[in-house]
């Protein structure tokens, strides 16, 4: 079970997540109590480089803001709403984690991996697990929204996702992670499925990673993202 802890703001949170054996850390650049600057994110992520994926989490970023994030933070992965991706100029080697929210057309094409959550990120509100389960049957789905140590096993059983993502569910207060809650959440996740290897080689071979594709397959991935984005609510 692939595991991401999102909203890193302190060295203690990064250390706890690494000790818990997570697969990815999220650094938020969108408007949020967890928002960091590219320079702050780079400092926080330093111990994690080469050990886990460092994810830049955005929502509807402008091109200049994104360029600043890429230059200052140098993320392994960009997470942003699927509707954003066709509008941005992105390095071909940058890995992508498109976000789908709520309602989704089951006939639309999907990229190889998506993050599925509700309309509001980081608000502790569960998404629609029934719709998430349908999407999880068609692609590698990372489930987010309202997860915590008490409900993540039920969520995994209901949705059968590829992975899970938590933010507010492991916090002592908004914006500040609790190392003990990170450990509890990771243990709850690992109890439901075998532990992953700690690396994510699939990211570089999935259709949503343009750097690993031929020109033809990259174009097919772009079209899948655009078709998927066309059916997302503009929130």
Q: What percent of the chain has pLDDT over 70?
A: 77
Give me the CATH code for the 2-230 domain, please: 3.20.20.70
Query: 85, 102, 193: which is closest to 144 by C-alpha?
Result: 102
201 pLDDT band (50/70/90 cuts)? very low
Averaged confidence pLDDT in the chain: 84
pLDDT confidence of residue 108: 80
198: left (phi over 0), alpha (psi -120 to 50) or beta: left
Q: Tell me what pLDDT residue 125 has.
A: 72
Strand runs labelled E in the chain? 2-6, 24-28, 53-57, 77-81, 95-101, 113-117, 140-144, 163-166, 171-173, 176-177
Mean pLDDT (whole number) for 190-202: 60
11: pLDDT strictly greater than 60: yes
Does residue 55 or residue 232 have the better pLDDT?
A: 55
Model pLDDT, residue 101: 85
Query: What was the pLDDT predicted at 109?
Result: 86
Rounded distance between C-alpha atoms, residue 190 and residue 192, angstroms: 5
Q: Is the model's pLDDT at 121 over the cut of 70? A: no
pLDDT of the residue at 124: 62
Model pLDDT for residues 129-151, shown as the tens digit of each residue:
999 999 999 999 999 999 999 99
Q: Is 222 exposed, middle or buried (0-12, 13-18, 19+ CB in 10 A)?
A: middle
Binning pLDDT at 50, 70 and 90, where does residue 43 land? very high
143, 46, 96, 208: CA torsion to nearest 10? -100
Q: Check pLDDT > 70 for residue 224.
A: no
Would you say residue 7 has pLDDT above 70?
A: yes
Better-predicted residue by pLDDT, 101 or 120: 101
Q: Which residue did the predictor score with more confidence, 98 or 209?
A: 98
Q: What is the pLDDT of residues 155-185, one digit of tens each?
A: 999 999 999 999 999 999 999 999 999 999 9
pLDDT at 154 over 80: yes
What would the mean pLDDT of 89-101 be, rounded to a whole number?
95
pLDDT at 102: 72
């Amino acid at each position: 079970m692939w595991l991401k802890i999102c909203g890193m703001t302190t060295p203690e949170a990064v250390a706890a997540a690494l000790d818990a054996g997570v697969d990815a850390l999220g650094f938020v650049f969108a408007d949020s109590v967890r928002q960091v600057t590219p320079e702050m994110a780079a400092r926080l992520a330093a111990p994690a480089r080469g050990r886990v994926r460092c994810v830049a989490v955005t929502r509807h970023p402008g091109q200049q803001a994104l360029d600043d994030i890429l230059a200052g933070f140098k993320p392994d992965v960009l997470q942003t709403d699927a509707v954003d991706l066709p509008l941005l100029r992105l390095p071909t080697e940058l890995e992508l984690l498109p976000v789908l929210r709520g309602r989704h057309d089951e006939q639309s094409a999907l990229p190889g991996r998506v993050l599925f959550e509700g309309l509001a990120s980081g608000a502790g509100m569960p998404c629609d697990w029934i719709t998430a389960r349908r999407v999880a049957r068609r692609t590698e789905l990372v489930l987010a929204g309202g997860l915590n140590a008490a409900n993540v096993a039920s969520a995994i059983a209901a949705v059968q996702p590829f992975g899970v993502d938590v933010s507010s569910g492991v916090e002592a207060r908004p914006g500040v992670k609790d190392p003990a809650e990170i450990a509890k959440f990771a243990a709850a996740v690992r109890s439901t499925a075998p532990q992953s290897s700690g690396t994510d080689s699939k990211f570089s071979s999935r259709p949503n990673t343009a750097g690993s594709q031929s020109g033809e397959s990259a174009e097919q991935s772009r079209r899948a993202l655009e078709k998927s984005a066309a059916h997302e609510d503009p929130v």
